[in-house]
Structure 1
Amino acid sequence: MRTHRPWLYGAIGVVVLLMLLVPYTLLSEVNAWYGSFLFWTVGALIVLTLSAALSFGWED
């Protein structure tokens, strides 16, 4: 059974775009390394979760 959920592709794209923009704009005044690191870690976990949800129904 193949499920097609195009909104997951869009959500992954939005999260990746935010992971690129936010640290260099909103977090640019944070002078500690953990500001961007925490944001990228949370973003990566969100992308991994969305990718797992996207591939959950795939069959060979």
Structure 2
Amino acid sequence: MKVRIDAGRCQGHGRCYDLAPDLFGEDDEGYGQVIGDGSVPPGEERPARLAVSNCPERAIEIL
């Protein structure tokens, strides 16, 4: 499982890195970014899905 953020849709609400700080961080302007290559380690599937479902711009997807 991997996650990806569509930078064109992200508005910088920060829910992804609040809900799944091991998977997402913020760039210099406060927009969400995936940590590493986007691979979701075992045990982090639930936070990944929570981040996806809570993104108001629907900018995060699971691959």
Q: What is the TM-score with the length of structure 2 in the denominator?
A: 0.34
Higher strand share: 2
Q: Normalization by structure 1: what TM-score?
A: 0.35
Report which of the two structures shows the higher radius of gyration computed on alpha carbons.
1
Higher relative contact order (CA 8 A, sep 6+): 1
- If each structure's helix is expressed as a fraction of its own residues, which one has the higher value? 1
